[in-house]
Amino acid sequence: MIKMLTAAALLPVAQQTAPAPGGPGAGPMLTQILFIGFLFAAMWFLLIAPQRKKQKEHQKMVTALGSGDQVLLAGGIYGEITSVRPDRLIVRIGDNTKVEVDKAFIHAVVKKAGAAS
């Protein structure tokens, strides 16, 4: 007992059309796009912008380093800069101990060379 579909039976399916743009389906889509835009803006202001600001401040601090500055390295070691090279610093961390350190590993400046105690 197989029923045969006739053209008359398929006519109601063929008469259905897609909703017009701006019809009932446009509201939820616009809401989703606005929500995604709001999430992107929130991520920018809460995460990306503060990180970029911190990065610029660190770069400014590193470019201002000079011989005689006392610094704190990222590993927690205190030392005094003895020489500045274009890509790295020579830091004295003990009486007879000097190490070469990449500029990115300077965590903070403890005391500038000309600053009073």
Provide the residue ranges of all domains of the chain, joining segments of one domain with +: 25-63, 66-111
Rounded average pLDDT over 24-50: 87
Asked whether 56 and 37 are in contact (CB, 8 A), the reply is: no
In the chain, alpha helices (H): 7-14, 26-43, 49-63
List pLDDT tens digits, range 93-106. Answer: 999 999 999 999 99
102, containing H or E segment: strand 98-102
What CA–CA distance (Å, rounded) separates 48 from 54? 10
Chain position carrying tokens 């398929």: 10
Q: Quote the tokens at residue 75.
A: 């590993």
Indicate if the pLDDT at residue 24 is higher than 90. no
pLDDT bracket for residue 89 (50, 70, 90): very high
List pLDDT tens digits, range 44-58. Answer: 889 899 999 999 999
Give the model's pLDDT for residue 97: 95
Q: Which CATH class is domain 66-111?
A: mainly beta
pTM over 0.75: no
Indicate if the pLDDT at residue 91 is higher than 90. yes
* Cα 64-70-76 angle, rounded to 5 deg: 110
